[in-house]
Structure formats: C-alpha cells, structure tokens
Amino acid sequence: MTVSATARKAGPFAGNGVTTVYPFQFKVFTKADIQVILTDANGAATVLVLDSDYSVSLNTDQDASPGGAVTYPIVGSPLAAGLTLTTIGNLGYDQATSLANSGRYLPEVVERTFDKVVILIQQLKEISGRTLQAAVGTTVNLIFPAPGPGKFIKWRSDGLGLENVDAGTDSMALQGLLADAGDVLHGSALIGLKVNLTGSVGRTLSSRLSDTPTVKDFGAKGDGVTNDTAAFNAALLAGTCIRVPAGTYILNGTVNITRSGQKLIGDGPSSTILTATTNNLPAVSVSPFLTNWEIAGFTLNRSVTAIAGGDGISAPTSCSQSHIHDLVVQGHWRGIVCGSTDYSRISNVVSQQNFNHGFFFTNQAGSGAMQWYMNNCLSSRNDGSGFVFQASAGPGAVALGTIDDCATFANSGRGIAFLGLVGVPINGIRLTNGFFGEDGDHEVFLDTYGALHSIRATFAELAGRGSTGVLGTTPPTLLGSGFFFSGNNRDVLVADCRSDANARNGLATSALSTVVTGGAYTGNGVALVAFNRNGISCGAGRLVVSGAIIGDYTLAYQEFGVVGASGDDTSVIGCDLSSNITAPFSASVNPGRITAIGNLPNTSQTLLYAAGGIGVGGVTPAGAGTINVSGDLAKNGTVYTNP
C-alpha cells in the first residue's frame, strides 16, 4: 500500500442549486476519516454531521483509486448559490497498532501504520497552510505574549517579537488622528481611496472630498436657525463648484458669486431651502462681467416683506454663457433680475409671489445683447408683471434670445412685456409655445420701437378677469387684451396662437404691419367696453388675417371678428368668422374696401364658388363662369350701364 495524494482537501465547491455529489481524491480508511464544512456567503463555517447532513461513498480500492464522493444534502434542496462545501482529512490522532515481540511479521499491518503516519503529516500540512507563518529568512519570535485583558498585540520596537500594549497607547492615538478635522494632514488625509476602474490612480479621501465641497464644509448648519451667510461666502471664496446639501439655510446677508465659473448647486427645490431675512438686500448677487456661472437646485425664500433692492437673484450687469435653472424663487421684490448677455439660459424656474416683477431683464449701456434663452419658466402671483424685458439707453438696439414654453398666472401687471425706447428698439422677439393667463393687464404686450417679431403657438386667456397678486386679493381689473401691439412696432407675425375670453380684445394692434396666420380668437370683450369687444382689432397700420377661427359661440361678448383701421389696409382670407354678435368684420375707415375672400359665413365680401362663379358683395353667382355683384359694376371708376 502507498499514499500517493499529497493534498487532503477537496473544494471548496460552489453551490449552484443543482449539484449534490462532490468527489474527493485522497486516501482514507473509513468514511469517518473526512470532515465536511459548509460555508455561507458571510464566511461563517458549519461542520456537517456524517449520515445526518451528508453521506459518503468510498472507492473500493483506496490504493489504486483513493477517495470517494460526498452526497449533500441527504434530504432537501441542493447546495444553493452563495454557499460552498469543502472536504478535508479528519483521521484521528492516535496509534492503535501493537506489534508483540516474537510475534508474526505482517507487512500489511506495518505498511498501514506507515500510511496513517503519512496521512497525518499531510493532514497537518493542510492545517498549517491556513496559518500565519514567518518568512524563512527571518529570526523573529512568533510566540504570543501571555493574554492580557483589554490589551492589543503589536510588534516590539526591535521588530523581533510581539508584545502586549494598552489600547490607548497606539489605537487611541490613531483614532484621534482620524477624528482630527483641524489638521489637513490628519482625518481623511490618512485614508486611501482608489476607484475600481482601469487606469484609475489612488489618492486620499481628503483629496476626493475636495472635488465638490459643500457649504457645510465651511461651517453652514442648514438648521433653519443659524445665520449661514458667512459660510456660503467663505465656500464661494475658496472653491468653484459649491454644493448646498438638503437643509434650511438662513441668510442674514447676500451670497456673492464673484468669479467666473462658480456654481452654487442645491439638492433640489424641495430639499434645499435658502431663506433671506433682510428686506432690501439681494439674496444672491452675481458680480459684473462673469462667465460660465451657474445657480441651480434650491428654493429661495424671504421671511420678511421685501422692498426695492430686496431681489431674489440679482445679476443686473453683463455676463456670458451662464445658466439659472431648477429653482423656486418667491417672496422677494423682484424674483430674478438679469442684464446683458451674449448667450445665457434660464430653464425650469418658478418665480412667484414677489412684490414687483417675477422676472426683469434690462441691458447695460454698453451692450444691446440681452440674449437670455428661456425655457419652461413660470411667473405667478406677482404684484408686478410676470416677465419684463426693458431696453435701457446706450446701445443702438437690443436683441433677445428665444422664449419658449413659458407661462404666467395671476400677476397684477402684464403677463409678458417688451418695452423698447426711442433710439433703442428691441428687435427680433421670438416667443413660442407660451401660456399667459388671468393676469391683470395685457397678456402679451409689445411696445418695442423695433421689428422682426414672431409669436407662435402661444395661448392668452382671461386677461383682466381674475384676482391677482401675492395674496391673490387684488380684484379683477377688467382691463387687458390677450395680445397687444402698440404703434411702436414695425412688424409682428402671429401664427397658430389662441386668445380667449379676455376682458378686452383677443388681439389689439397698431403696429405698422401685423400678419395673423391660423389660431383662434374667441369669446373676447367680456368687460363689455365699447370698441374693445373684438376678436382681432387694428387701430392703425396694415392687417392680414388668414386661416383663423374668430367668433363667440355664446354670442354674449365678441361683437366683431376682425376690425381693421382702414378697409384699404385690411385683408381677411379663409377665416371662420361665424358667431360674432354684430358682424364678421369691419373697418374704422372704408369698411367696404376690406379684402375678404373665402371666409365663413359666405355672406362676406368676395365669394369664390367651386362651380366657377364669383359673387361680390354677398350675392350668389348666377352660374358657372359668371360674376354677380350686389351693386354697380365699374371699370376705372366708370359704371357700366345695366344691359
């Protein structure tokens, strides 16, 4: 007999929910000579019981084919994923063979004894392989000192042995170093960190945390009681991107953004709350001529009644390529004040219950670029107007960015107003996808002294009809049209807009040229003020209206569908003008000379029939290829004699 295998261990075998038989290939004498250990996902080991938890089948010839197989479990489900099974030698540490003097020599008995000795050596080798060992070339003494309650074991100062030490000697010192937040060389500077990604490099936890400091790193409490103004400004003075964690931060002064590229970012308007406590200071101020700054992610309140100067976010001078977004700004004098910019953005901002305007924009004397691109903003229940774009003296003209998907509700002034100056026109208004409703005056107001204006897919309704303002107690004014363009505009294009149920006109214009395409202007003139009960009313200038629905299905308010300044300058084509109280259209001067073609109802002006006839003056053609007029037929002023 021989012992060929040197490793007395099989496994660990990983569970898969299927396998139940686990082989081993080392020599044993009986099935009790092995031990089976079950290890869970946390590393906890359990010694299983033979013939209760598992069974063993041995190969018949342990010399030619040593080993056998363990079957686990005897009953129940197979070994599950996350568990492992390991088989090791468990031969008893005894010697039961007795060789008597002058007795028979039995080689099999002697060899079996030698085999057991070798097996025990292999068994001890497997055990020692799982122990701590000193390197071959060392001379250290690994004998443990006598146990000492509450003691730690450490290397002696000579490095040649181990000794007991008190817990406070080294471990408490290390604990103190790790807890020391006052020394940049201690605390997180003692903890290493490496991202588990290819190519990453190690650094300290302190270095990683410094990537995005928070205002709390500079002493802010966010407890709704402590004045955190100084902590905010210290953070912005030291860092670039400053995060404001969830909490309520009291500001007894102004938070100042003073360098290009700075960012003040909260955890979201519902989590991060900033509350200003002064009545005449801006809560957040941006210094002049900065680029790439960003303010986002919090609610900005004020706990006292604001007066002039007490704005929410004040960036009244020039800036570039900056972004204000994801904010709720409320309770200030003006919610957001912005100046000139070559390109900056405002998105996902609510400005509400401010004591003046919700948003206010004005250019600087040296710059006519006021190109704030706005998206998804709401201005609501302010005591002034929702959005105001005001030209200031200095440049030759003011240019704006696109205003898209913005809305107003219940502001005491206008919904959105564009106010130019003589010599400083506002040009190129691009207003799209807006919704302006229930404000105290005109919903969309243009007095720009400029040109090239385009308003598309915008709704205006209920101007002057509801209670407005911070408290919602300012009574209805019964003023205001859905759209109002003063005579200080050169040309305005209005496409696919809707204006309904306003106190005055649906659209009132005195611009030099107004073109209205598509849309609907219905049920206007609710205040029942004479000459202000029209779907579209032109006080001066040229007016072209096509493809629109203009009427009052209740027949209670809107008198005229379209009223032009002069019939010579008014064209109405392909509109549904049904259900106006007085007439489909008219004009202050020469109403009979309005160009009106293909409108409904078909009693209006010139009618084109599919059969090929033309009716002029509301009469029906006599037949195909005929022209029928309700009055005289003339050429160059000469009336033809009726044949």
Mean pLDDT of the chain: 89
What pLDDT, on a 0 to 100 scale, did the predictor assign at position 608?
47
Is residue 131 over pLDDT 70?
yes
CA-nearest of 309, 290, 233, 289 to 264 is: 233
In tens, the pLDDT along 555-590 reads 899 999 999 999 899 999 999 999 999 999 999 998
Other beta carbons less than 10 A from residue 132's beta carbon = 5
What pLDDT, on a 0 to 100 scale, did the predictor assign at position 122?
82
* Confidence class for position 187, pLDDT limits 50, 70, 90: low
- pTM beyond 0.95, yes or no: no
Lowest mean pLDDT: which of 53-67, 167-181, 376-390, 483-497? 167-181
Lowest mean pLDDT: which of 78-82, 223-227, 523-527, 598-602? 598-602
What pLDDT, on a 0 to 100 scale, did the predictor assign at position 609?
45
Is residue 186 over pLDDT 70?
no
Burial of 359 (0-12, 13-18, 19+ CB in 10 A): buried
Is residue 169 over pLDDT 70?
no
What pLDDT, on a 0 to 100 scale, did the predictor assign at position 556?
92
What pLDDT, on a 0 to 100 scale, did the predictor assign at position 333?
98
Number of domains the chain contains: 2
Gap between the Cα atoms of 34 and 67, Å rounded: 10
DSSP 179: H
Structural domain includes residue 465: no
Structural domain includes residue 41: yes
Structural domain includes residue 614: yes
Structural domain includes residue 565: no
Share of the chain above pLDDT 70, in %: 87
**Helix segments in 101-170, DSSP class H:** 107-128
What pLDDT, on a 0 to 100 scale, did the predictor assign at position 154?
83
CA-nearest of 641, 623, 625, 622 to 633 is: 641
What pLDDT, on a 0 to 100 scale, did the predictor assign at position 593?
84
In tens, the pLDDT along 625-634 reads 567 666 666 6
Structural domain includes residue 15: yes
What pLDDT, on a 0 to 100 scale, did the predictor assign at position 605?
53
What average pLDDT does range 186-202 have in this prediction? 70
Burial 459-477 (b: 16+ CB within 10 A, else e): bbbbbbbbebbbeeebebb
What pLDDT, on a 0 to 100 scale, did the predictor assign at position 7?
82
Under 8 Å between Cβ of 579 and 555: yes
Tokens of 632: 């005289």
Lowest mean pLDDT: which of 12-26, 511-525, 593-607? 593-607
How far apart are the two ends of the chain, measured CA to CA in Å? 142
Q: In which residue are the tokens 């905010």 written?
A: 232
| 26 to 73, 89, 531: CA distances (angstroms) | 21, 8, 109
Chain centre to alpha carbon of residue 208: 24
Q: What is the largest CA-CA distance in the chain?
A: 165
Gap between the Cα atoms of 404 and 410, Å rounded: 19
Structural domain includes residue 111: yes
Domain termination site, one of 91, 107, 128: 128
Share of the chain above pLDDT 90, in %: 67
Is residue 494 over pLDDT 90?
yes
In tens, the pLDDT along 585-620 reads 999 998 888 889 889 987 555 544 444 556 665 566
Is residue 511 over pLDDT 80?
yes
Is residue 518 over pLDDT 90?
yes
Lowest mean pLDDT: which of 338-347, 372-381, 625-634? 625-634
* Confidence class for position 62, pLDDT limits 50, 70, 90: confident
Give all strands (DSSP E) within 457-559, no chain letters.
459-461, 483-485, 491-495, 498-500, 507-509, 513-517, 520-522, 534-538, 542-546, 549-551
Residue 639, domain extent: 609-643
Gap between the Cα atoms of 119 and 556, Å rounded: 109
Gap between the Cα atoms of 226 and 312, Å rounded: 20
Q: What are phi and psi of 638, to 5 degrees?
A: -95, 125
What pLDDT, on a 0 to 100 scale, did the predictor assign at position 616?
63
Structural domain includes residue 55: yes
Is residue 28 over pLDDT 80?
yes
What pLDDT, on a 0 to 100 scale, did the predictor assign at position 209?
65
Is residue 621 over pLDDT 90?
no
Lowest mean pLDDT: which of 217-226, 428-437, 591-600, 633-642? 633-642
Helix (H) or strand (E) holding 88: strand 84-89
Higher pLDDT, 521 or 194: 521
Domain termination site, one of 128, 150, 172: 128
What average pLDDT does range 208-221 have in this prediction? 85
CA-nearest of 278, 337, 350 to 310 is: 278
Structural domain includes residue 619: yes
Lowest mean pLDDT: which of 161-170, 214-223, 315-324? 161-170
Where on the phi/psi map is residue 593: left (φ > 0), alpha (ψ -120 to 50), or beta? alpha
Domain termination site, one of 128, 163, 191: 128
What average pLDDT does range 152-176 have in this prediction? 74
Is residue 505 over pLDDT 90?
yes
